[in-house]
Every structure is written in C-alpha cells, then in structure tokens.
Structure 1
Amino acid sequence: MKIIARIRSDFPEKFGIPRQSGLIEELKARIVFEPEYRNPDALRGLEGYSHLWLIWQFSEAIRESWSPTVRPPRLGGNQRVGVFATRSPFRPNPIGLSSVKILSIDFHTEEGPVIMVAGADLMDQTPIYDIKPYLPHVDSHPEARGGFAYEVKDYGLNVDFPEEWKRLVPAGKQEALTQILEQDPRPSYQQDPERVYGMSFAGCEVKFRVEGQKLKVIQVIPLQ
C-alpha cells in the first residue's frame, strides 16, 4: 500500500481527537498529497461531490500482535467486545475509515492540489492511503442499526471556558475547541475530579478539570 497524502490538522497528538468523524464540523483540516501524486488530473470531477471517504493508517497504533477483543471507550473501557464490532485503532491491520465534508479544493498551491475538509478525526500528519467520493444514494442507510455505539448515552459536558483563556486560542478555532471539550476527551476510566488534564490543539496546550457533567478550562498556554 502506498501513502498518497497526509492530513494537516490541529491535533499534534492523539489525546482530544473526536471519537468519530463528522462529530465536529467546525474542525477543519487539509489533505496534502505526496509529491508523486500531486497531479491535478487525479482530482478532476471531485468538485461535484460534497463528502469524501478517507482510508488511512492508524500510524500511532501499529503493533506486531493483535487481540480479538478490545475495550471500547463507548462502554466505559470496562467491557470487552469483538474488535470487528468496534472502530478501535488496535486491529489486525491498522486501517481507519472516515467520512469528511469537502470545503474547498485549491488546485494551485506550492504543495500541489490541496483539499480542505471539515469533520476529520485524524492526527496531524496521518498517512492517507486512498480517497473515494461519498455516494449518498448507496452510502447512506437511515434504517441501519448502530449497535452499542448508538444505544449508550451520548457524551456531553457543560463547558466553562473563561474568556481570559479563550482569547489565547487562535482566531477561528475557539468554537471547534469548545465542541471537542463538550465531547469529553478523557479516557472513560478516568473520573478523578481533582485531576488536571491537558491536550494540545491548534498550537496551544489546554488544561482542564472535569467534575460530574461540568468541564472547566483552567489554563491555555500558547506553544508558538
């Protein structure tokens, strides 16, 4: 398999990345092709679609061995289910699948054609193996069942984000960060109200505490 592109996102590390694609449309990212695939003809006709499938590598979850069961965060990290009944990154083949929205396509940049997308759940520099158009008449199944991922209560926290810290987040990124925090980025097994969590996003280190259903941002440190 050949890497055709890499994502450029605001997540330099795994912590804080949404658990699924499309959850936070405010999140924007760029798809930058590897030099040998920077041919505009390869994207001819793509402007006629609104969404894409991305097939990519869980580059931070590559292992020599695999387990037939995993502990999905959706079940609190305490219950094992079959790996093929989850979207866990710890799989026999570390391949991810994400649906993203096309915001724009710029055919004339110094990096060749670049696709701007919304809703990506990929860490910065994640390798992309393929890009395919999303076809609503065959890819959408409103009657489909969602298994335990649908039955378990949705994540959702009330975020207290003081203005003194919010203004340190780059312009245009504040709403996306707030929505990320609402989704509760903590590992499901960590519930200590005194613990200070930290995540990197858009060139900032964001520190917060969670008590019950309330998340309070206690510090934002610009890293640039």
Structure 2
Amino acid sequence: MNSDYGVTPIGTVRSCFPDKFGVPRQPSLCPHARGEVVLSSPWNTEEAFRGIEDFSHVWISFLFHQVPADQAPSALVRPPRLGGNTRVGVFASRSPFRPNRLGLSLVRNQGLTRRHGELCLAISEIDLVDGTPVLDIKPFLPWCDAPEAATGAWANEPPAATLPVRFSPQAEHRLQQIQWDYPELRDLIREVLNQDPRPAYHRDDPERRYALRLYDLDVHWLVANGTCVVERLEKA
C-alpha cells in the first residue's frame, strides 16, 4: 500500500496574528480575532464555494507550518491547560507537535470577498497565525459535529478568562488615534490578554514585560498585582 500521500494547500491564511505568541490556544476564545483564507488556483473561484453562505461556521484543515518538518513528534505531550507538567498522549491532545503537523480549527464564516483581485473567505474567532497553509474547508454541521452527549475530559469547559486588562493613559490615547483604522482593536487586545498568554514558567516574575503583535502593531504589556496593564502600542 502506498504510504506517501501528497497534499497541496488550497489557500493561505491572512491573519490578525503575525506571530505565534498571543494566538488563542483554541478557536472561539477571541470573537474579534479576524482573518481570511486567500484562495489559490484552481480553487479561487466562486463555484467552489457555492452555498457556503448558508453555513455559520466552517472547519479549516491546515498545516502547523511553524513546526519544523524534521522535528520528530513525541508520543507524550504536556498541554498548557494542565499546567505544562502533566503528560498525556499526543492523540489525547491538540498539541501542534504531532505526526504530519495537521491542525483543525472551527471558525465563523464571514463570507466570500474579493480583495485586490484575490478571492478570499473571510473568517473570525480564529486561532490561526498569518501564513498558515490551508488544506481543506468544510461546513460545520451542528447535528453531527456537536453531539449533546460529548465530553471533553480535562478540557470539558472553556478556559476561564481570568486576567483583568486595563489600558494606560498612553495606550488609551493611541487607541483613540487609530480607532478608524482598527475599530475592533481594543476588544481584540482585551480578549487575547484575558486568556493570559504568558508561558506558565514566567508567571512568577512580576518584573517581566511582554510584547505581542496584532496586525502591524506591537502591544507592550505587563502584569502587576494580578492585572494586565497595556502600557503602549507601537507600529511594528
């Protein structure tokens, strides 16, 4: 039996997340996280998407392209949801470090659009980094994709958004200056930082400062007394 199955991306994600740091660990955690799938030939045609406007959500099959192709996956991984210390089987996790580097994401369908001559599928509630190769798109079917009796073991409930966020006067001023170009930026920053994207091993260091990139902006922040403080926003 042939064990070599080649796949060709049908498009590429253009995302509000240029870098991996800050990308939500699962879709739907950040409703204002937006992007689009820029379709490639021969799939950049409206006929291939006829009827997709009737589905609220779609599945995106993709490649974890930032994981090195020559990195051998491990049978055991340490999910951040379990504190980064408990090991589970790779097939009992959603770790990106897995055989074939395949990922699956459920996103909200915002419809087809043409931008600069390119056919794109607009999507939101995403957890996809910019440049992600898309291998397939399928409609979400509630009756079979969300069974009532389903259970999720240690991830049965969504993670709590536990980190309060406030903006410094400097950050507030900058947000007001750019609100016409980034009308949802404040909400997106709050949703991303609510999830506390810090690595677990950094959370005991009150002096550490962070920067994450959204669109073409660097968001500088720190955590003080249990609150995330957005200090400033700068052009990347």
Q: Smaller-chain TM-score range? A: over 0.9
> Which whole-Å CA distance do the structure 2 matches of 1:219 and 1:137 have between them?
45
Secondary structure at the residue paired with 1:217? strand
Checking the alignment, whether the CA contact within 8 Å between 2:170 and 2:231 is kept in structure 1 is: no
Q: Distance in 2 between matches of 1:140 and 1:84?
A: 20
Say whether the 8 Å CA contact 1:76–1:189 is kept in structure 2: no
Pair 1:139 & 2:151 matched: no
CA distance in 1: counterparts of 2:210 and 2:200, whole angstroms: 13
Alignment counterpart, residue 87 of structure 1, candidates 72, 88, 94: 94
1:37-71 deviation digits (Å, cap 9, x = unpaired): 21211011111111100000000013421100111
Q: Please, which of 80, 83, 107 is the counterpart of residue 76 of structure 1?
A: 83
SS in 2 for 1:168: helix
The SS at the match of 1:194 is coil
Separation in structure 2 between the aligned mates of residue 189 and residue 152 of structure 1, nearest angstrom = 22
Match 2:211 to one of 198, 201, 207: 198
Q: Is the 8 A contact 2:220 2:232 kept in 1?
A: yes
Q: How far apart are residue 132 of structure 1 and its match?
A: 0.2
Unpaired runs of 5+ residues, structure 1, are none
Q: Tell me which residue corresponds to 2:3.
A: none
Structure 1 residues 152 and 3, CA gap change in structure 2 (3 angstroms): closer
What amino acid is the match of 1:149? Answer: A
Q: Distance in 1 between matches of 2:92 and 2:173?
A: 41
User: Could you tell me the percent identity over the aligned residues?
Assistant: 37
Count of matched residue pairs: 222
**Structure 1 ranges of 4+ moved more than 2 A:** 108-113, 150-155, 166-172
Contact 1:162–1:217 (Cα < 8 Å) also in 2: yes
Q: What SS does structure 1 have at the residue aligned with 2:23?
A: coil
8 A Cα contact 2:112 2:122, kept in partner = yes
Equivalent pair of 2:174/2:232 in contact (CA under 8 Å): no
Match of 2:122 in 1: 116
The reply to whether residue 188 of structure 1 matches residue 208 of structure 2 is: no
Distance in 2 between residues matched to 1:6 and 1:44, nearest whole Å: 20
Alignment of 1:149-188 (within 5 A): 149-150=155-156, 154-169=160-175, 170-188=182-200
How far apart, CA to CA, are the structure 2 residues paired with 1:209 and 1:190?
A: 11
In the superposition, relative to structure 1, how do residues 68 and 212 fare at CA in structure 2: closer, same or farther (>3 Å)? farther
Unmatched 5+ stretches in structure 2: 1-6, 176-181
What is the letter of the counterpart of residue 73 of structure 2? W
Shift of 1:145: 1.2
Q: Could you tell me which residue of structure 1 aligns to residue 221 of structure 2? A: 208
Aligned-partner Cα distance in 1 for 2:219–2:159: 26
1:187 deviation in Å? 1.3
Q: Deviations over 1:157-208 (max 9, x none)?
A: 0111124314435332221111101011111221111101111112111111
CA shift for structure 1 position 152: 8.9
Supply the distance in 1 between the matched residues of 2:24 and 2:149 (Cα, whole angstroms).
Answer: 24
Q: Deviations over 1:124-171 (max 9, x none)?
A: 111000000000111112331111123696342011112431443533
Q: 2:49 aligns with which of 43, 51, 54?
A: 43
Distance 1:90 1:212 in 2: 34
TM (norm. structure 1) is 0.92
Structure 1 residue matching 2:105: 3-state secondary structure: strand
Cα RMSD after superposing both structures: 1.8
TM-score normalised by length of structure 2: 0.88
